[in-house]
C-alpha cells in the first residue's frame, strides 16, 4: 500500500493510470485531502463508489501519530509525533503578526554534531521519509482545524514552512525536495516558493543541486573564522566558510532573492565586537540577510546566552555598516521548542537508561 502523503501529483496520477483508471482522479483526491482536509475516501463524493473502495485499498494516509502538544507562554506550540517505528519527531508552530510558521524536521537525530545543538548530541538515527515530512504539516493542519471548530472560529492557515527542525535537510536531499514539490503543488498544499525555507549547515553537494527559485536558503554560519566555526561545527572541515561564500557569490538567484546567513550568538565565544567586525568583512560584498539568534540554553550544553547589551551592540554594529540584520527572538524556550533545543526527549531517555545501568 502506498502512502498518499509521500506521492507527488504525477506519481499519484501514474499509480492510478496504472490500474486503467482516469488520471484526473488524482487531482480530485489531492483536492479532497490537501484543500478540504478530508482523509476518508468514502466521503469523496465526486468519485464513483467502486473507485473509492479501490483507492482505499491502494493508498494509506497513516503517517504520524500526534501524541503531545506543548503550548509556550509566547503562543508557540511544540508538536511531538510518533512514527510507525516508535520514534519521535518534533515540529514547532510559531505565530507572528502576519505569519503562522511551521518549523518541520527532516531527520530523526542529526549527524552534523554541532556542539550548540541538542539534536546534534542525539546522533543520527535515520532520515524521514517524504510522507513523514508532509505528515507533520498535515498533523498540524488537523490540529488547527479541530481547535478552530472547538473554539467556534475560522481555521488559521499555515503561511510559511521552514526546514529548521531536527536534522540537516541537505543530508536527506531527495525526500526534502520531493516534500517541497508536494508543498508547492497548487492542487496540494499550495505554498509559494517564497514561503518555504531550507536551513542548512552548508552541505555544498545539496546546495549546488537546488534549482534557483525552488525555496529560500538559510545557511548556518555561526562564526566568522574557520577555526571558531570548526570548533562548534565539525562539518566546517569538509565545507569551510571560504567554499560556502564562493557558492553564495555564484548562486544565480532571482533579483529579489537573497540567501540568509544564520548566526547563533554564544556568550564569550562569538559575540564580541571583533567578531562582528570579522563578520562584516566576510559578508560586506555579498547581497544577503543575517539572522542573529541568541543561543538557547539547555542542560546539555555548557554555552550561555549573551546579555541584551552585547546582542544589541553586535546588531547595531552590522546595521550601521548597512547590512540587513535582524535579531531572531527565541520562541518556545519554556517547552524546549526553541532553535537548538529540539530532541531533548531522546537525551532524557538516554540519561534514564544510564541511571538504570
Q: What is the pLDDT of residue 253?
A: 74
Catalytic status, residue 90: yes
Least confident window among 21-35, 271-285, 336-350: 336-350
Q: Of the given ranges (143-152, 220-229, 282-291), which has the lowest mean pLDDT?
A: 143-152
Q: Which pLDDT band, with edges at 50, 70 and 90, does 62 fall under?
A: confident
For 115-132, the pLDDT digits (tens) are 999 999 999 999 999 999
pLDDT band at 265 (very low <50, low <70, confident <90, very high): very high
Main-chain dihedrals φ then ψ at residue 145, nearest 5 degrees: -65, -45
d(CA 226, CA 228): 6
Q: Which of 226, 257, 339, 349 is catalytic?
A: 339
Mean pLDDT to the nearest integer, 52-59: 96
Q: Which residues contact 207 (CB under 8 A, 6 or more apart)?
A: 170, 200, 217, 219, 247, 251
The whole-number pLDDT of residue 149 equals: 55
> Containing H/E element for 244?
helix 241-250
CB 314 within 8 A of CB 292: yes
Given a contact cutoff of 8 angstroms between Cβ atoms, the answer to whether 242 and 282 are in contact is no
Q: And the C-alpha cell for 223?
A: 562564526
Q: Please give the grid coordinates belonging to residue 167.
A: 536534522
- Rg of the chain's alpha carbons, rounded to an integer? 21
Do the bridges between strand 288-294 and strand 124-127 make them parallel or antiparallel, or are there none, so unpaired? unpaired
Catalytic residue status for 231: no
Residue 258 has pLDDT above 70, yes or no: yes
pTM, two decimal places = 0.94
What percentage of the chain reaches a pLDDT higher than 90? 86
334: Cβ contacts below 8 Å, ≥ 6 apart: 72, 73, 74
- The domains found in the chain, sorted by start residue, are 2-60 (1.10.150.530), 65-356 (3.20.20.70)
Question: Lowest mean pLDDT: which of 186-200, 232-246, 334-348?
Answer: 334-348
Does the pLDDT value for residue 211 go beyond 50?
A: yes
Residue 160 CA: distances (Å) to CA of 3, 215, 227, 341: 24, 11, 34, 20
E strand map for 145-185: 160-163
Binned at pLDDT 50, 70 and 90, residue 148 comes out as: low
What per-residue confidence (pLDDT) applies to 140?
A: 96
Give backbone dihedrals phi and psi of 137, rounded to 5 degrees, phi first.
-65, -45
- Among candidate residues 90, 132, 262, 297, the one labeled active-site is 90
Cα–Cα distances in Å, from 312 out to 31, 101, 144, 319?
47, 25, 36, 10
- pLDDT higher at 329 or 168: 168
Amino acid 213: pLDDT: 84
Beta bridge mates, 326: 291
pLDDT (average), residues 72-101: 95
Residue 212: pLDDT band with limits 50, 70, 90: confident
pLDDT bucket at 84, cuts 50 / 70 / 90: very high
Provide the pLDDT for residue 10.
97
Tell me the pLDDT band of 205, cut-offs 50, 70 and 90. very high
pLDDT at 153 over 70: no
Geometric angle at alpha carbon 71, from 70 and 73, rounded to 5°: 140
34 in Cβ contact with 190 (< 8 Å) = yes
pLDDT of the residue at 254: 72
Mean pLDDT in residue range 78-91? 96
Beta carbons of 114 and 170 less than 8 angstroms apart: no
Q: Give the pLDDT of residue 356.
A: 38
Task: Answer for the pair 314, 275: CB distance below 8 angstroms, yes or no.
Answer: yes
**Averaged pLDDT of the chain:** 93
Which one, of 210, 226, 320, lies nearest residue 259 by Cα? 210
pLDDT at 150: 52
pLDDT score for 97:
86
Amino acid at each position: 500500500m502506498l502512502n498518499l502523503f509521500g506521492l507527488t501529483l504525477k506519481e499519484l496520477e501514474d499509480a492510478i493510470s496504472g490500474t486503467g483508471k482516469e488520471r484526473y482522479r488524482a487531482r480530485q483526491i489531492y483536492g479532497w485531502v490537501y484543500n478540504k482536509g478530508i482523509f476518508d475516501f468514502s466521503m469523496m463524493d465526486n468519485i464513483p463508489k467502486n473507485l473509492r473502495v479501490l483507492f482505499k485499498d491502494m493508498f494509506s494516509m497513516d503517517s504520524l501519530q500526534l501524541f503531545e502538544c506543548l503550548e509556550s507562554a509566547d503562543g508557540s506550540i511544540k508538536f511531538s509525533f510518533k512514527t510507525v517505528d516508535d520514534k519521535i519527531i518534533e515540529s514547532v508552530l510559531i505565530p507572528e503578526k502576519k505569519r503562522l510558521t511551521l518549523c518541520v524536521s527532516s531527520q530523526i537525530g542529526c549527524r552534523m554534531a554541532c556542539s550548540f545543538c541538542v539534536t546534534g548530541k542525539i546522533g543520527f538515527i535515520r532520515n524521514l521519509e517524504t510522507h513523514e515530512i508532509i505528515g507533520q504539516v498535515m498533523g498540524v493542519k488537523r490540529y488547527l482545524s479541530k481547535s478552530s471548530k472547538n473554539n467556534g472560529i475560522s481555521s488559521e492557515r499555515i503561511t510559511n514552512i521552514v526546514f529548521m527542525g531536527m536534522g540537516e535537510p541537505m543530508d536527506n536531499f531527495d525526500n526534502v525536495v520531493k516534500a517541497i514539490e508536494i508543498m508547492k503543488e497548487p492542487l496540494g498544499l499550495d505554498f509559494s516558493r517564497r514561503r518555504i525555507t531550507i536551513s542548512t549547515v552548508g552541505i555544498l553537494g545539496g546546495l549546488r543541486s537546488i534549482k534557483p527559485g525552488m525555496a529560500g536558503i538559510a545557511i548556518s554560519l555561526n562564526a566568522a573564522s574557520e577555526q571558531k566555526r570548526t570548533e562548534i561545527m565539525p562539518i566546517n572541515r569538509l565545507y569551510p566558510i571560504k567554499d560556502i561564500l564562493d557558492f553564495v557569490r555564484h548562486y544565480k538567484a532571482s533579483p529579489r532573492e537573497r540567501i540568509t546567513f544564520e548566526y547563533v550568538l554564544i556568550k564569550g565565544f562569538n559575540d564580541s565586537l571583533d567578531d562582528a567586525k570579522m563578520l562584516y568583512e566576510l559578508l560586506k560584498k555579498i547581497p544577503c540577510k543575517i539572522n542573529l539568534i541568541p543561543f538557547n540554553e539547555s542542560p546539555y550544553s555548557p554555552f550561555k546566552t549573551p546579555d541584551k547589551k552585547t546582542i544589541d551592540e553586535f546588531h547595531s554594529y552590522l546595521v550601521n555598516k548597512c547590512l540587513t540584520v535582524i535579531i531572531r527572538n527565541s520562541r518556545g524556550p519554556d517547552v524546549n521548542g526553541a532553535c537548538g533545543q529540539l530532541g531533548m526527549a531522546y537525551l532524557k531517555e538516554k540519561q534514564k537508561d544510564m541511571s538504570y545501568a
